[in-house]
Structure 1
Amino acid sequence: MALQRRHAQTTATPARAADTGEPRAFEAPVQPPLVPGAPRLTTAQGTLLREITVQDEHGARRLLHIPAERPLTVFVDKRELVTLMTLGACPELLVLGWLLNQRLIADVAEVASITVDWDVGAAAVQTQTGIADLAGKTAHRVVTTGCGQGTVFGDAMDQLGGIRLPDAASARIRQGTLNALLEQMRQRHSIHRKAGSVHGCALFTGSQMLVAVEDVGRHNAIDTIAGWMAMHGVTGADKTFYTTGRLTSEMVMKSAQMGVPIIVSRNGVTAMGHGLAEQLGMTLFGRAANRHFLCYTGFERFDAEPEAQPAPVRVVAG
């Protein structure tokens, strides 16, 4: 399948979009310098929203925006690997992060370029010297749960034994910082607020947001953040990862691979995600919104600042 190259290639990653009043699916307020040997990337953002007509229970018709989900087939050195269902905000970073989180590449310098063309719905990855045993590494494919259906290749879980996260003394979070982080995400002018049907992920240093991504699947959003981190040489040891999606084993695994020891979710935690986090020494917060949260694992990293318990309601007998 020939890929039409309709977009100029650049080594730059997308900067924060101008505030036109429209929601942004990708936002990076700070743009650190690129790492040496960063691959050339196109900037092929797709249309994020589609307007349709709906009819409600009262028989009234009105216009409504919905996310513009689309397939993106990934080719590595002309070999087809996978089709990702995505909103398409930053498809090049999504593909790069996906390759890193699947352990198909170890460093961005292994990739010469990533070219995305929405006319054919494909991403062409050109590596510097090829990927050793690509067929063997991708032979066992696991389709994970959730919207958009994530994909994890079989040996990714086996490689977690080599991950070493920072200890509790050097990677911590205060309750006040957690609340500030949650408030920023609540106020963000998001695709979800306008159209729903997407997940959001973000990376923080303390309460400072570095990058935020929305996509139809939480796994796509975290992969895009992984791609951004790798392009800019941003490490995860002192960072906090936020997601609107539930903390499955896949999300915990990818956060660990990015070196991020603290995860905050607006949703809940699965048993496998919980067990994996305990094994790796990670801190998980779930059900986190509006100053409410549950800390599931890694209490030793959390500097609690407990809020006053509400006064009990007295019932006076009549």
Structure 2
Amino acid sequence: MLPDPVSALALPADPAVAEGAPQLSCARVEPLREIEILDEYGERRRILIPFERPLTIYVDKRELVTLMTLGAQPELLVLGYLFNQRLVQRLDEIASIQVDWEVGAAAVTTHQGLTEIESRTAQRVVTTGCGQGTVFGDVLSHVESVRLPDARTARISQSGLRALLDVVRQQDSLHRRAGSVHGCALFQGSQMLMFVEDVGRHNAIDTIAGWMALHGVQGGDKVFYTTGRLTSEMVMKSAQMGVPIVVSRNGVTQMGHELATRLGMTLFGRAANRHFLCYTGFERFDAEPLPAQAPAVRVVAG
């Protein structure tokens, strides 16, 4: 049995499950598979690679979408997907989520059905990036109704950002052992509350959204971290989770930048160790600039 990917740092115990939470199966599966490879030296050896699986979501026996996932926490992935697609608004709308890997399906049962599901899922947008995701077109029309806390109550300092990045640096991960995955984390200050990896960054953020919904965790005082680039999809989902500050190891797209600016979100990119770029939301950031580096002196031999 491989070690748990979050075992390097002790995460706090999950808060209590929120009132009205659905019944969930526990269908977590091993995310890595061992294979034999031939390297550039002509040597055969065994390595680990991510084990990607299709998971088809059925809502009240109606097929909705198929997600490609590692299957680390599939019930939370499905729950977060439904919330981030705005197909459900409240936790108590869902009676149960049951995942069965023998048939690669997640059966979602609601209490009273989802209203107008046909029209709400008619338009689909295939999003960018590895493990391509699907966003239903109706989501984009609602995102600007999101109200985030103002800059007086939701802030981050440069030292706080460094502390967050240091926690991420120490975190054991599937990526270190096998590569080919994205990681996402939810922070309160420098404390990591939740960490998950998947083949697509959109799956990882949906899993965190599911965890937040299941436990009634609010996003206003949280920071979201991702290894993936900040596309419009990632910015949109962070906003719907109520998280106003987002940190990425990668960069930002034009649409991601524009959407974050309109929503008043703070985006950090190219963030690793002591380095970062703050793209938007400067008013939430308490900067503590590093001393300017002296220019290198070129020595010319005489």
Query: Structure 2 length as normaliser, TM-score?
Result: 0.96
Q: 2:45 aligns to what?
A: 62
1:124 alignment partner, SS class: strand
**1:165 and 2:148 aligned:** yes
Specify the alignment match of 2:264 in structure 1.
Answer: 281
Supply the distance in 2 between the matched residues of 1:78 and 1:126 (Cα, whole angstroms): 8
Deviations 1:72-108 (A, max 9, x none): 0000000000000000000000000000000000011
1:145 alignment partner AA: T
In angstroms, what is the RMSD of aligned CA positions?
1.6
**One-letter amino acid of the structure 2 residue matched with residue 50 of structure 1:** R
Residue 309 of structure 1: CA displacement? 2.0
TM-score by length of 1: 0.92
Partner residue, 1:188: 171
SS across alignment from 1:82? strand
> Within 5 A, what are the aligned runs for 1:1-318?
21-24=3-6, 28-317=11-300, 318=302
Offset of 1:285 from its aligned partner? 0.2
Secondary structure in structure 1 of the residue aligned to 2:15? coil
Residue pair 1:245, 1:267 contacting (<8 A) in 2 also: yes
Structure 1: gaps spanning 5 or more residues: 1-18
Contact 2:95 2:111 in 1 (8 A): yes
Whether the aligned pair in 1 keeps the contact of 2:149 and 2:244 (CA below 8 Å) is: yes
Q: CA deviation at 1:24?
A: 3.9
Per-residue displacement from partner, 1:42-92 (whole Å, max 9, x unpaired)? 110112100000111111111000001100000000000000000000000
SS of 2:296's equivalent in the other structure is coil
CA distance in 1, matches of 2:16, 2:2: 26
Structure 2 distance, partners of 1:263, 1:115, is 31
Q: Which moved more, 1:185-194 or 1:305-314?
A: 305-314
Is contact 2:181-2:197 (8 Å) kept?
A: yes
Q: Distance in 1 between matches of 2:206 and 2:296?
A: 47
CA contact (8 A) 1:27 1:211 kept: no
Paired residues, number = 300
Shift of 1:313: 1.8
CA distances 1:119-165 after superposition (whole Å, capped 9, x unpaired): 11000000010000111111111111111111100110000121111
